[in-house]
């Protein structure tokens, strides 16, 4: 069964490996990749000895132990990875606040602590008294779940930095399983200084010792080198009576991991209503900044959230040099700062200076420690859960299913998947395709 995989990010690479390991002849698998290197959003860059992940900080962790072990085994084994304890904080004024925010209220200034606790108790009481259900829009959900204090001090400003649009325009459906839900007893304890954790997920994670997160996709691609066509943009995909053609070449099966937004530009005869739905799927781009520092060590932190406007445009920084010793030269350290953009927009030139000034104002660095900065941009970074997402996604995926075009990946299927979830979805897709190959 000749199979074309459009895109050689982690989803496409994992699928190819699963198919070949499952018995499909390697010569029947072809990956098309427009970039000069495989990896997609897992891309890393090394600049003057400093390595960073260009689409934001990544870690290797999964609740699916089989998927995680597969990723490790396929990419050099346990010895290729550093094991790290997750230590995540929120920066509020000049204070380190425990994460999640409601479990760190005791770390706040007294008035902010009171505001947040009062609002949290009032919101809890209202839910208990009235038996209300979660509001559909994110802005209302924040106050329904956390109250006015946490909304004003953290949730509103932080999420406005990420989503770059009014929070009422975003659905609350995306928060399920992503935003920790602290019992009120834990919040009360936290407010008076009794430490509560509230978030044990990803307490330990792994990161490649060499090459940044791209080590994973590099290793997956290494065994597929003859099957990946780099620098090969998909120009046309056409459904035929007995299969498909991709750039004029015949295939029995096509798996698309390219963003659904772009499918009408490459797949012929997409119906008009489907094309409108695909192109209308909402997303944000991202600009990342490596800050290379002449400093021997950092606090033992993994990443930090920045909710306040005075902290600059970055919503999160990753202590890249804490992830792996090779991510910075000896005696040096580095930050990775993330700034989200509206679709397809790049940051203005002055934003880089604002990012640096924000880190200085937050007390995380001194300007004289900065050796240099380096900037990267990715068009498709975050799925935006606006109120039209579900209907547009259903229209798009229903058409893909009816036409036989297999959709896979964060933007190829429009699921907010981390790398391990992409591997899990690829594994499931390979099972179906291998059954199809046997029947065929």
The DSSP secondary structure of 218-264, one letter per residue, reads HHHHHTTGGGEETT-----EEEETTEEEETTEEESEEEE-S-GGGHH
Q: Identify the pLDDT of residue 438.
A: 84
Q: How far is 272 from 237, CA to CA, in rounded Å?
A: 17
Q: Identify the pLDDT of residue 30.
A: 98
Q: Identify the pLDDT of residue 336.
A: 98
Q: Which residues pair with 253 in a beta bridge?
A: 3
Q: Identify the pLDDT of residue 304.
A: 98
pTM reported for the whole predicted model: 0.96
Residue pLDDT, tens place only, 408-419: 999 999 999 999
Residue 298, C-beta contacts closer than 8 angstroms, at least 6 positions apart? 319, 321, 322, 333
Residue pLDDT, tens place only, 40-77: 999 999 999 999 999 999 999 999 999 999 999 999 99
Q: How far is 341 from 161, CA to CA, in rounded Å?
A: 9
Q: Is 94 helix (H, G, I), strand (E, B) or coil?
A: coil
The residue ranges of DSSP E strands in 108-165, in sequence order, are none
Question: CB count, 10 Å around CB of 16?
Answer: 27
Q: Identify the pLDDT of residue 161.
A: 97
According to DSSP, residue 55 is labeled T
Tokens coding 392: 């547009």
Q: Identify the pLDDT of residue 198.
A: 66
According to DSSP, residue 309 is labeled G
Q: Identify the pLDDT of residue 173.
A: 87
Residue 352 near residue 390, CB atoms below 8 Å: no
Residue pLDDT, tens place only, 375-399: 999 999 999 999 999 999 999 999 9
Name residues of the chain where pLDDT drops below 50.
none
Instruction: Identify the CATH class of 3-41+215-282+387-439.
Output: alpha beta
Q: How far is 168 from 381, CA to CA, in rounded Å?
A: 21
Phi-psi region of 153 (alpha: psi -120 to 50; beta: other; left: phi over 0): alpha
Q: Identify the pLDDT of residue 175.
A: 86
Where do the structural domains in the chain lie, given as residue ranges? 3-41+215-282+387-439, 102-191, 283-383
Q: Yes or no: is domain 283-383 CATH 3.90.660.20?
A: yes
Burial (CB count within 10 angstroms: exposed 0-12, middle 13-18, buried 19+), residue 86: middle
Q: How far is 162 from 184, CA to CA, in rounded Å?
A: 27
User: Which of 74, 16, 56 minimizes the C-alpha distance to 376?
Assistant: 56
Peptide bond into 180 cis (omega under 30): no
Residue 383 near residue 416, CB atoms below 8 Å: yes
Q: Identify the pLDDT of residue 181.
A: 74
Place of tokens 């399983």: 177
């Amino acid at each position: 069964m000749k199979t074309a995989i459009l895109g050689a990010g982690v989803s496409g690479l994992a699928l190819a490996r699963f198919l070949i390991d499952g018995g499909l002849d390697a010569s029947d698998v072809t990956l098309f990749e427009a970039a000069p290197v495989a990896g997609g959003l897992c891309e890393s860059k090394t600049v003057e000895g400093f390595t960073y992940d260009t689409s934001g900080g990544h870690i290797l962790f999964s609740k699916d132990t089989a998927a995680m072990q597969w990723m490790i085994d396929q990419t050099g084994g346990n010895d290729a990875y550093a094991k790290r304890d997750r230590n995540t904080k929120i920066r509020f004024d000049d204070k380190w606040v425990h994460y999640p925010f409601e479990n760190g209220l005791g770390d706040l200034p007294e008035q902010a602590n009171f505001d947040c606790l009062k609002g949290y108790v009032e919101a809890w009481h209202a839910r208990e008294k009235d038996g209300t259900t979660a509001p559909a829009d994110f802005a209302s959900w924040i106050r329904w779940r956390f109250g006015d204090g946490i909304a004003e001090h953290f949730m509103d400003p932080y999420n406005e930095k990420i989503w770059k649009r009014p929070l009422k325009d975003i659905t609350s459906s995306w928060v399920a399983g992503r935003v920790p839900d602290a019992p009120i007893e834990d919040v009360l304890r936290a407010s008076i200084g009794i430490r509560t954790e509230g978030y044990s997920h990803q307490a330990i994670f792994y990161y490649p010792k060499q090459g940044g997160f791209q080590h994973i996709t590099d290793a997956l691609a290494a065994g597929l080198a003859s099957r990946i066509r780099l620098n090969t943009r998909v120009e046309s995909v056409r459904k035929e009576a007995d299969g498909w053609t991709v750039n004029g070449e015949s295939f029995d099966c096509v798996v698309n991991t390219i963003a659904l937004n772009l499918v009408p530009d490459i797949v012929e005869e997409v119906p008009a209503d489907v094309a409108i739905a695909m192109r209308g799927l909402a997303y944000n781009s991202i600009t990342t900044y490596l800050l290379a520092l002449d400093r021997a060590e950092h606090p033992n932190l993994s990443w930090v959230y920045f909710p306040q406007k005075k902290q600059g445009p970055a919503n999160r920084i990753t202590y890249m040099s804490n992830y792996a010793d090779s991510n910075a030269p000896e005696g040096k350290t580095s930050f990775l700062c993330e700034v989200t953009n509206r679709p397809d927009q790049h940051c203005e030139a002055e934003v880089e200076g604002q990012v640096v000034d924000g880190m200085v104002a937050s007390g995380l660095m001194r300007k004289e420690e900065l050796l240099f900065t380096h900037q990267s941009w990715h068009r498709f970074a975050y799925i935006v859960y606006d109120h039209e997402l579900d209907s547009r996604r259903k229209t798009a995926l229903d058409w893909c299913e009816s036409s036989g075009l297999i959709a896979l990946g964060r933007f190829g299927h429009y699921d907010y998947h981390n790398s391990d979830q992409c591997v899990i979805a690829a594994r499931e897709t390979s099972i179906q395709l291998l059954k199809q190959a046997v029947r065929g």
